[in-house]
Structure 1
Amino acid sequence: MKRLALGLVSVITSITLLAGCSTGSNSGSVTESSSNDGNMKEVVISVRENTWGARKDNFIEAEKRLNEELKSKNVQIKIDWWPGVGDDELILQAQAKKVADVFINSSVDIGWQLNAGLIRDVDWVGTSDVFKNMPKSYDNIMKYQNHYYGVIQDMDASPVFISRKALEGLGWTAAQIDELKARVDAGSFTFGELVDLADAAVKQKLVKVGFGVEDTRFEGWNYTFGNFNYNAEQNKMVLSPNTQKVYEFWYDALQRGVVTEGIADIDTDKAAELFIKGQLFAEFARTEFYQVMRKQLGMDDDLAGYEKWFKENAIWIPVPSVQQGGKPVSYSNPAMIYVGANVDDEKMPYVQRLIEHVLDADLQINHTLKSGKLPVTAAAQEDPRFQKMSFYKDHAYLIDFTKTRPAQMDYAVYMKSFTLGIDAILTKGRTASQAYELFKKDVQQNVPADSLIVE
């Protein structure tokens, strides 16, 4: 699972060195070459390799489909595969004038990549048939400073996975368990009630751990407490007193034993192991947690068997609101397809069609089956293979209100300060107010004033 590269912050200080850099070979304009059929226009598109899920396989198939489409125009596309590299290496290679035409990275990386001169706009996304009638959340994810800079490649949401067995142990009936998601959607079941259930499950020794979470920054908990740390209109981080409410939850949950001092060490794989063993009450993760458990159970080739296990052992809900009558929340950190800054307007239509074929409905589902991520278009969700997978099908509606980590340049620095506060609560015995003061001081010292709104 991709994590935000907090170590990238120091590298970004050298971004200005990249201004005006040009791509290496096989980038920019199209080239002419000869063929047995006469003059054939060959368009070489450099693509950084990404083999996770079906990403590379989908590009290979998209290349074949596009070449079939362009036969009558005597044009041939050729992908030039470049090695996949990390964020730091992207910058170093850009300084050496090596920028690929196409690469995949996180949605949160738009800001620094743009400032580094690595990417160009892809405003054709707004009129592409692929994204007709797309949810507003997609528009927010792919846009930055009023332009499209990325093409969403896959998607997830952040359901809460809850132990059905633990709820049964607490005396819940099957009907009560099955209607819980509807209660969360309607705002009649709150986050505080979920904390109370976890507390009871731990105290009654139905589970060993109350809450697990994919990382301690977990934006879902920020959002449910109204702590929206980014102002998109001004493209600034927000230092809000609401952060203390999130710290109060952490402090209370630790005191009650709902979370443990070592919660940061329970990564997604470990949480899946605990959940399968019936030792974890609730895991706050993303869509792919469903697939992680399936893999650990050895049921990759047994969908029916896994769905039976899942229905007997788990339920899922969106992250509930803290307010009665409030709306649930969800967040994601989706992958984006980026286009290199030196792809010119002559080459862009070919790059566009290649990317659009990567998002062909059947190819999206191929990736879903391998990665555990959601497909990104309504057409893909209509695929019979998707419709057969009840978990994916039933929670796809979360996409409509899923928020994502902001692409603002100083987000990583800001969140490093935020997690300092959580760590102070978990390991240093600090109160919520003490953690907030530590967070506030660190943010104001390290986030540039022109990138920060102080409420």
Structure 2
Amino acid sequence: MKKLAGVALTVVMGVGFLAGCGSKDDNDAAAGSANRTGSDASNKVVTISVRENTWGARKDNFLEAEKRLNEDLKADHVQVKLDWWPGIDDDELVLQAQAGKVADVFINSSVDIGWERDAGLIRDIDWVKDSSVFKNVPASYTDIMNYDGHYYGVIQDMDASPVFISRKALEGIGWTKDRIDGLRSKVDSGEFTFGDLVDLADQAKKKNLVKTGFAVEDTRFEGWNYAFGSYNYDASANKLILSGKAKDVYAFWADAKKRGVIAEGIGDVDTDKAAPMFVKGQIFAEFARTEFYQMMREANGMKDDIEGYNAWFNDNVVWIPVPSAEKGGKPVSYSNPAMIFVGSKVDDAKMPYVQRLIEHVLDPDLQVNHTIASGKLPVTPEAQEDPRFKAMSFYKEHAYLVGFTKTRPALPDYATFMKGFTLGIDAILTKGKSADDAYGIFKKEVKQNVPADRVTIEE
């Protein structure tokens, strides 16, 4: 149960050693270039330091955005130059920030806003509210970027959390093609519930059609919490909520474990392991992110055979949103999207150039370049109108989920809170504890380890 044993928590340490910073001369040069302006052939030069992130098309998009911004600025006799800093982990970001080394722009997770702000890494960017880039996005996107009354990040890409279900297993328990193809609409209307999904997994297991009922991406159980109406966070008060609804979630875990739908080692089956297992027909339902679609393509050996993979997918897989636990309820989705952050050293004079650079990174065609390279969804409706996006049937059909996708709150204590929740699950799976026992463990952990002013405990 190594995955269930805890949740990663960034620790801010007052340490002077700058891990991975390079030489003093290199650091001084980098720091100087971050804010230097000068002249180059009568142009004003504005240097913007960017932490390198090469996943998908992220770096390529910044390089193209630099070119497009400079075309815009020609008439103003201004040239922007990107100064690339190495990509580093969260602990090193903190260590370098303590010595004043903060890049102008970097990418991290949306859940990192709280601790990054408290550690002095990022500054507010309230221009997001009025940016034309985001004028047509769902309210959930602006909620993601907004924290404690200010905007602190720009959503860079997006995913949702569909449930991928074995079509062959459904056929094995007697479902017709029409019934399988109509499943998603029944989830959307609230006719098909989370409990119905558990029952199907139970049948597939009992008929030996699959080896595993449910598999889930690492410890991302929030989607299951949301299905039961347990959201854990009050954004208006910026507080965590320990709700009695968690008992319903634990009751599901206890029942699913008793029926064999969920195995003790569920937390050990990450998506890298689950993709080939699902392809082989060993998993009934995989709770994962959008990019699992692409991971299965690679597990199939069809990375460059899109047409062949789509045919395989249509024959072997059906996907749905996470169903509500209540009849007539709405489906749910959850995500942990990447954000573009602006470093705390960026002043108001440089900010307009940083803003326009970031806005170009989100040009519709560049977003779709990243979708193709990464398997993530673009973040604006304009990008979803790109012909290349429309030609990818799974992504096009899947995009409606983002309208109701929720994300992990950025409150720094959330990781500690979820560790307590996960310990309750661990007790059910490995120690045979009841749902009430698990809830008691959860409540005890929260009371002991989460500051009282950061959480509301509903007795």
Question: Does TM, scored on the shorter chain, surpass 0.5?
Answer: yes
1:25 to 32, 35, 43: 32
1:121 to 118, 124, 127: 124
Cα pair 1:425 1:435 within 8 Å, conserved: yes
Cα pair 2:38 2:45 within 8 Å, conserved: yes
Q: 1:25 deviation in Å?
A: 2.5
Q: In 2, Cα distance between the equivalents of 1:7 and 1:430?
A: 24
Q: 420-429 or 345-354, which moves further after superposition?
A: 420-429
Deviations 1:224-267 (A, max 9, x none): 11111011111111111111111111111111010101111100
Q: In 1, Cα distance between the equivalents of 2:277 and 2:205?
A: 14
1:389 to 389, 392, 395: 392
Q: 1:136 deviation in Å?
A: 0.6
Q: 1:124 deviation in Å?
A: 1.2
Deviations 1:293-342 (A, max 9, x none): 11122222222111111000001000001111100000000000000012
Deviations 1:178-212 (A, max 9, x none): 00000000010011000000000000001110000
Q: Look up the match of 1:82.
A: 85
Q: Look up the match of 1:439.
A: 442
Q: Look up the match of 2:416.
A: 413
SS at 1:254 equivalent: helix
Q: In 1, Cα distance between the equivalents of 2:174 and 2:349?
A: 66
1:267 to 2:308 alignment: no
Q: 1:27 deviation in Å?
A: 2.9
Cα pair 1:8 1:87 within 8 Å, conserved: no
Q: In 1, Cα distance between the equivalents of 2:111 and 2:383?
A: 24
1:266 alignment partner AA: V
Q: 1:6 deviation in Å?
A: 4.4
Cα pair 2:275 2:296 within 8 Å, conserved: yes
Q: 1:344 deviation in Å?
A: 0.8
1:368 to 364, 371, 383: 371
Q: In 1, Cα distance between the equivalents of 2:270 and 2:231?
A: 25
Percent identity of paired positions between Structure 1 and Structure 2: 69
Q: 1:14 deviation in Å?
A: 4.9
Cα RMSD for the two superposed structures: 1.6
Q: 1:428 deviation in Å?
A: 1.7
Q: What TM-score does the superposition give when structure 1 sets the normalisation length?
A: 0.94
1:12 alignment partner AA: V
Cα pair 1:217 1:419 within 8 Å, conserved: no
Q: In 2, Cα distance between the equivalents of 1:25 and 1:223?
A: 47
1:169 to 156, 159, 172: 172
1:279 to 278, 282, 289: 282
Q: 218-227 or 295-304, which moves further after superposition?
A: 295-304
Q: 125-134 or 411-420, which moves further after superposition?
A: 125-134
Q: 1:34 to 1:217 in 2, by over 3 A?
A: closer
Q: In 2, Cα distance between the equivalents of 1:233 and 1:12?
A: 26
1:100 to 2:103 alignment: yes
Q: 1:145 deviation in Å?
A: 1.3
2:417 alignment partner AA: Y
1:12 to 2:12 alignment: yes
What are the within-5 Å matches in structure 2 for residues 271-420 of structure 1?
Answer: 271-420=274-423
Q: In 1, Cα distance between the equivalents of 2:276 and 2:40?
A: 57
2:31 alignment partner AA: G
Q: Look up the match of 2:221.
A: 218
Q: 1:125 deviation in Å?
A: 1.1
Q: What TM-score does the superposition give when structure 2 sets the normalisation length?
A: 0.94
1:32 alignment partner AA: G
Q: In 1, Cα distance between the equivalents of 2:190 and 2:60?
A: 42
Q: 1:7 deviation in Å?
A: 4.5
Q: In 2, Cα distance between the equivalents of 1:25 and 1:160?
A: 48
Q: In 1, Cα distance between the equivalents of 2:40 and 2:143?
A: 44
Aligned residues between the structures: 441
Deviations 1:255-302 (A, max 9, x none): 101010111110001111111001100000110100111112222222
1:63 to 2:66 alignment: yes
SS at 1:353 equivalent: helix
Q: 413-422 or 65-74, which moves further after superposition?
A: 65-74
Cα pair 2:13 2:95 within 8 Å, conserved: no
2:172 alignment partner AA: G
SS at 2:32 equivalent: coil
Q: In 2, Cα distance between the equivalents of 1:13 and 1:404?
A: 27
Q: Give unmatched runs, 5+ long, in structure 2.
A: 1-5, 16-27
Cα pair 1:224 1:329 within 8 Å, conserved: yes
Q: 1:34 deviation in Å?
A: 3.1
Q: Look up the match of 2:143.
A: 140
2:257 alignment partner AA: L
